[in-house]
Structure 1
Amino acid sequence: MEDVKLIAKKRDLEGTSNVRRMRKDGLLPAVIYGAEKDPVSVEINTHDFEQILHHSASESIIVDVALDGEGTISTLVKDVQHHPVSSDLMHVDLLRIAANKPIAVEIPVVLIGESAGVKAGGLIDHVMHSIDVECLPGDMVESFEIDVSELEIGDSLNVSDLKLSSKFKLLVDEESIVASVAAPRVEEELEEEEAEGAEGEGGAEPEVITEKKAEDAE
């Protein structure tokens, strides 16, 4: 994976008003923690971090942070907080990592090829868009690919079908479904509507007719 670099500056001022002022100036509050060291509150350029996210397939990104007074720190983006309404970036957690220690990361799963079942009119269902694995920082990849071209209608592929290298330790059930091909929904919906229509016709009661007969009898 390509090296990602970021410049950070320690921040001493806490509190809502200071953080609000920081965001107004285009800066994003963040914290660097882990490796049995005290957490360090920092500020980073919001635009620079947005660009990092934009060019990455997931938020599990290794970032080399240049921090004043500490040199370059290898970190993993652990948590990104967004505003619930505007989706603006609010805060970032950066975990210190070491090259020789495994880390838990979330890797996107990309489907390649055109399913035979889709060509026959079926619908592909991408069930699992990413999987959790453990690996060394240097072994991280942008994504895992899985070929769906052999899938017929009714078939599915599991996590075990990814055929991962021994460099990766799965942190999810290998029998979990990654993708499947279902029959066209239109046919299923038509069958359900026809069945509901048949039930409606069979269960109708001639209440109006009964009442009319009773009135005639009077």
Structure 2
Amino acid sequence: MVNVLKATERTSDRRSQLRELREQGGIPAIIYGYKTDNTPISIDNGEFIRTMREVGRNGVISLDVDGKKLNVILHEYQEDPIKKEVIHADFLAVDMSQEIEANVRVELSEDAEGVRDGGVLQQILHEVVVTAKPDEIPEIINVDISGLGIGDTISIGEIRGNYPITINHEDDEPIATILAPRVEAEPSEEETETEKAADSENTDTEEKE
């Protein structure tokens, strides 16, 4: 079942009206894409947050613009850096039978064997670009790293077959690796003797005082 989000077409982009819209709990937005002219709209902030929680970042939404429904996905959004509130949203109208590109977040699951042995996990790829039909785009790409030991790396080629979509990256592109633990170098004999001499000088100075 596709979630419905109600919207109203806007007739103005004047700053004063956009500010008033936000103050009243709305978000200015725009629709473009499949069989759709660029259309400025407004949506309710609370309804938008509720819908995105239910469908996820890449979920398909039925956008009801004054009674006309369009299948869309959230393409981009702008957020106030201080208030952390969405201040503008771009919706892409899609043809459900045609593949599109989308960015999908990468999450690592399970503790790696190498981390338990003291290694340091480094996630290199946090997002991947995929191609799929709109309703087949996953919310996240989950990568199991439990078998990685110190010095091991997991790459795109090793997860490609886990999802029935096209991952638009080279097979050898690394996702995560386990680095060897840092080992502090032992001080050399010369450094040790220098430290002892410095300590001795400090002691002599303190005794004279």
TM-score (norm 1): 0.78
Does the CA-based 8 Å contact 1:145-1:162 persist in structure 2?
no
- Report the CA distance between 1:7 and its aligned residue: 0.8
Superposed CA deviations along residues 82-132 of structure 1, whole A, max 9, x for unmatched, are 123332211000011001111111122222222111121112222212211
Task: Choose the corresponding residue for 1:172, options 169, 173, 182.
Answer: 169
Letter in 2 for 1:109: V
Pair 1:32–1:128, CA change in 2 (3 A)? same
* Partner SS for 1:38: strand
* Partner SS for 1:101: coil
* Partner SS for 2:37: strand
2:140 corresponding residue in structure 1: 143
1:153-168 counterparts in 2 under 5 A?
Answer: 153-164=150-161, 167-168=164-165
* Partner SS for 2:161: coil
CA RMSD of aligned residues (A): 2.5
1:65 corresponding residue in structure 2: 63
Deviates more, 1:132-141 or 1:109-118: 109-118
* Partner SS for 1:164: helix
Pair 1:201–1:55, CA change in 2 (3 A)? farther
- Report the CA distance between 1:61 and its aligned residue: 3.2
Pair 1:68–1:105, CA change in 2 (3 A)? same
Letter in 1 for 2:48: F
Letter in 2 for 1:44: I
1:107-126 counterparts in 2 under 5 A?
Answer: 107-126=104-123
Pair 1:126–1:4, CA change in 2 (3 A)? farther
TM-score (norm 2): 0.81
Q: Distance in 1 between matches of 2:95 and 2:105?
A: 23
Does the CA-based 8 Å contact 1:65-1:75 persist in structure 2?
yes
Does the CA-based 8 Å contact 2:59-2:73 persist in structure 1?
yes
1:37 and 2:36 correspond: yes
Q: Distance in 1 between matches of 2:104 and 2:40?
A: 27
1:207 corresponding residue in structure 2: none
- Report the CA distance between 1:54 and its aligned residue: 4.3
Instruction: Report the identity percentage.
Output: 23
2:206 corresponding residue in structure 1: none
Letter in 1 for 2:165: F
State the 4+ residue runs in structure 1 displaced beyond 6 angstroms. none
Letter in 2 for 1:26: G
Pair 1:154–1:145, CA change in 2 (3 A)? same
Superposed CA deviations along residues 139-186 of structure 1, whole A, max 9, x for unmatched, are 1222222221110001010011113367422222332111111122xx
1:22 corresponding residue in structure 2: 21
Structure 1 unaligned regions, length at least 5 = 205-218
